[in-house]
Structure 1
Amino acid sequence: MNTSNKGPLSGVRILDLTSVVLGPLATLTLAGLGAEVIKIEAPEGDNARNAGVMKHAGMGHVFLHNNRGKKSVVLDLKRPEGREALLRLAADADVLISNVRAAAMKRLGLDYETLAGINHRLIYVTANGYSSRGPYADLPAYDDLIQGAVGIPWLMQQYGAPEPCYTPITLADRLTGLHVVYAVNAALFARERTGGGQHVEVSMFESVAHFILADHMGARTFEPPQGPAGYDRLLSPHRRPYKTADGYLCVLIYNDKHWRGFFKGIGHAEQFETDPRFSTQQNRSRNIREVYAWVAETMLTRTTAEWQALLDEADIPHQTVRSIDELLDDPHLLATGFIGEEDHPTEGRVRTLGTPTSWSATPTGTVDPAPRLGEHSASVLREAGYTDDEIEHLVALGAARIAGRA
């Protein structure tokens, strides 16, 4: 939870019925902005609890990073007593977010119509694989599958990979999770105007398809098509960190000012005017593969440090190529507090990630470490009106679970 009760979403209560990455990233972000997030977990817990590196079972690194600032409440929603407990919580909630398939939520009696009947101000957000309006609505969806569905492995091969491959990040999950965040905030704003909640659907396929096609629809934008799909600049085999005489360097020579400065810096100021491949943005775009190939060859002629000095003098953007270990020690991220450390009650000293936003009037506060499974079951149920005896009865029935109990 947000222990300092600060941030632009302070006072907003969210029921989080999501698991793995997409939904937890969204609710992590909302918790970082001050919302109270109650994570509803099945008795076996979020699958991500056992993903990645861990010291103790159920507390893997993926879970630790995506679930800070949340309260863990275990409810077996397949049992009527567990369902009833969720309905009690929903009566006072502002938002419910789920990545459970719509058909399953309906079978559980937890569909939007049912919950809106209990709380007309509730914002009910479903993060689905595919829009309910299309023929894929009931298909299962995971990050790898969506990457394939939107053409990312194909693009990787077009870019030079020997065969189709995924990106080494959970791109579809994380991208869609950010769509969930703005959807929640927009729905909260709409509620301020209308007084009522609504059902908001966010789909992975459409979210990532938009992300891909805005770049790579390319010549297929026009009817009739002006050529093949794909954005040639992004697919150029030389659009990568350039090899220097002793390493690699990321460089973006982008506008006319940059190109004039680059040619002047290497002692060929006249080339900008005399070589039509470089003289205008349109010409560079038309000849982008030749342009990038020429830069790649030129970059081999000096050391990384020599290029950095030249590029600084010409005010041309550049950046070093870092490893993950180097990123963790980045002086800027350490200075801003984005990378920090905390003492976790069970996992000891751990590195943490902050929020990338800052707020002048509603600054965010600190958030608690990721919870143990069922750590907050008793306290949250008490707040919902359950007595200690009633809570014990739920536990005895298997409808709830409290951390530390077998």
Structure 2
Amino acid sequence: MCGAPPGSRPLEGVVVVEIALWVAGPATAAVLADWGATVVKVEPLGGDPQRHLEGLRPPGAPAEGGNPTFDVSNRGKRSVAVDLKSDQGREVVEKLLGQADVLVTNMRMPALARLGLDHESTLGRHPRLVYALMTGYGLRGPHADAPGYDTGAFWARSGIAASLTVPGGTPPFQRGAMGDRSAAVALAGGVAAALLARERTGRGQLVSSSLYRWGTYLLASDLSIALQFGAPMATARRDVMASPTVNCYRCADDRWVWLIGLERDRHWPPLVRAVGRPSWLTDERFATSSARQQHAQELIASLDALFAEKSRAEWLTIFDECDVWAEPVNTIEDVLVDEQFLAAGGLVELPGTGTLTVNTPLDFGDTPVGPRAAAPALGAQTEDVLSWLGYTPADIETLRSAGVVG
């Protein structure tokens, strides 16, 4: 469709219509596009508002230079600008859905109903369609129709922010679209499963996820503990961690390392060797796991003093020699030059642009995946897609003159 290049990607030949805004819905469709689907992004005439989001430039960045947060969620798609409030615009979308395998949307359910695009009526007209719906809070309940940005539904209401807040502290801010993008990968997996089910049954179905449910699933350990024992786990504090082998430490160069020795007795002797304190193995304050927990504050303060004597690079070398399990606490700048990140395929080049972008987090052994093009300009493929649907050049000009398409 529309000049899609041939290939053997996992979802090659699958046609996806995206009627979505901001991040969670578009990111779902972007994953499907990376997996080979042909994605037609239906935008309002003014464009997806994420195109125009301001304030996401670091200090000193030039005013021009694109919108990387939009681009990463919309690469490899075809943009069609349509006025969905008009009868003719809805007719265009109806023809698109008649050719599609999947609809991806994160519009609020009342708005979808007003447009005749709610899942009940849409699946009634297109029973083979996989209808992928991302909501803020789910399909039922008193807040089912509430606006659901991920800062609210995923970060705040789910319990994540509070669970990361130390006593007396303020809730931490999440990084941009963390909930949106992680939930998008989950919903993309749901779409793939629903397509497989359709192969067996001949029928499409609704597959839905919510930012709220995704946030609570990430907190499944905490919620399960509270369910079983009637009380939640306390928020971790590094100065009183029960085990010093699972903690972060500041080095002499003001960079941090994180020890990941989860097995307390197994990982304690290597740490003792690394910091040069063999006497701690027989010191009654630290000789056993329970003793270390009882004297945690004292022990961590001693380790803090030792870690402050060497740079992070020096410590990481020592850890390798002593079999201490640890990782650097990387900054964004660190990640972008991390040889492991690069070797593992964390970055990918947008074809024909020379621009690097962040790769989606799943790889396939026998079928290629990854972006096939940069994010489209608003309405860049309107004429192409309408021609594919059977509209003549005169039809397209009439729709454009009437303000139905852009």
Report the TM-score when normalising by structure 2: 0.85
Contact 2:351 2:371 (8 Å CA) reproduced? no
- With over 3 angstroms needed to count, the CA separation of the structure-2 counterparts of 1:25 and 1:168, relative to structure 1, is same
1:230 aligns with 2:237: no
Which of residues 19, 28, 44 in structure 2 aligns to 1:26? 28
Which of residues 182, 188, 193 in structure 1 aligns to 2:195? 188
- With over 3 angstroms needed to count, the CA separation of the structure-2 counterparts of 1:245 and 1:197, relative to structure 1, is same
| Aligned counterpart, 1:46 | 48
1:199 aligns with 2:206: yes
Contact 1:277 1:283 (8 Å CA) reproduced? yes
- With over 3 angstroms needed to count, the CA separation of the structure-2 counterparts of 1:291 and 1:87, relative to structure 1, is farther
Q: Deviations over 1:322-343 (max 9, x none)?
A: 3323322333344455324447
Q: Distance in 2 between matches of 1:302 and 1:156?
A: 29
Q: Distance in 2 between matches of 1:380 and 1:111?
A: 23
Contact 2:359 2:370 (8 Å CA) reproduced? no
Greater CA drift, 7-16 or 315-324:
315-324
Which of residues 260, 269, 285 in structure 2 aligns to 1:252? 260
- With over 3 angstroms needed to count, the CA separation of the structure-2 counterparts of 1:366 and 1:351, relative to structure 1, is closer
Q: Distance in 2 between matches of 1:137 and 1:114?
A: 19
Which of residues 372, 382, 387 in structure 1 aligns to 2:387? 382
Q: SS of the residue aligned with 1:38?
A: strand
| Aligned counterpart, 1:317 | 325
Instruction: Give the fraction of aligned pairs with identical amino acids, expressed as a percent.
Output: 31
What is the correspondence of 1:289-300 to structure 2 with a 5 Å cutoff?
Answer: 295-300=303-308
Contact 2:280 2:286 (8 Å CA) reproduced? no
1:94 aligns with 2:94: no
Report the TM-score when normalising by structure 1: 0.85
- With over 3 angstroms needed to count, the CA separation of the structure-2 counterparts of 1:63 and 1:265, relative to structure 1, is closer
Aligned length: 391
Compute the RMSD of aligned alpha carbons.
3.0
Which of residues 36, 55, 71 in structure 1 aligns to 2:38? 36
1:6 aligns with 2:8: yes
Contact 1:216 1:230 (8 Å CA) reproduced? yes
Which of residues 317, 331, 354 in structure 1 aligns to 2:339? 331
The amino acid across from 1:75 in the alignment is V
| Aligned counterpart, 1:84 | 91
| Aligned counterpart, 1:279 | 288
Q: Deviations over 1:223-244 (max 9, x none)?
A: 5x2xx42355x45456764112
| Aligned counterpart, 2:270 | 261
Q: Distance in 1 between matches of 2:166 and 2:328?
A: 25
| Aligned counterpart, 2:136 | 129
Shift of 1:291: 6.2
Contact 1:2 1:31 (8 Å CA) reproduced? no
Q: Distance in 2 between matches of 1:218 and 1:127?
A: 25
- With over 3 angstroms needed to count, the CA separation of the structure-2 counterparts of 1:186 and 1:286, relative to structure 1, is farther
| Aligned counterpart, 1:216 | 222
The amino acid across from 1:188 in the alignment is L
| Aligned counterpart, 2:376 | 371
Greater CA drift, 199-208 or 349-358:
349-358
Q: Deviations over 1:239-298 (max 9, x none)?
A: 764112333223223223322212233344464465576635x87778876765554344
What is the correspondence of 1:159-178 to structure 2 with a 5 Å cutoff?
Answer: 162-178=169-185
| Aligned counterpart, 2:78 | 71
Q: SS of the residue aligned with 1:157?
A: coil
Shift of 1:127: 0.7
1:154 aligns with 2:159: no
The amino acid across from 2:48 in the alignment is D
Q: SS of the residue aligned with 1:352?
A: strand
Shift of 1:359: 2.0
The amino acid across from 1:17 in the alignment is I
The amino acid across from 2:268 in the alignment is W
Which of residues 120, 125, 128 in structure 2 aligns to 1:118? 125
Q: Distance in 2 between matches of 1:157 and 1:78?
A: 44
- Runs of 5+ in structure 1 lacking a partner? 402-406
- With over 3 angstroms needed to count, the CA separation of the structure-2 counterparts of 1:129 and 1:374, relative to structure 1, is same
- With over 3 angstroms needed to count, the CA separation of the structure-2 counterparts of 1:181 and 1:294, relative to structure 1, is farther
Shift of 1:203: 1.2
Contact 1:13 1:93 (8 Å CA) reproduced? yes
- With over 3 angstroms needed to count, the CA separation of the structure-2 counterparts of 1:289 and 1:149, relative to structure 1, is farther
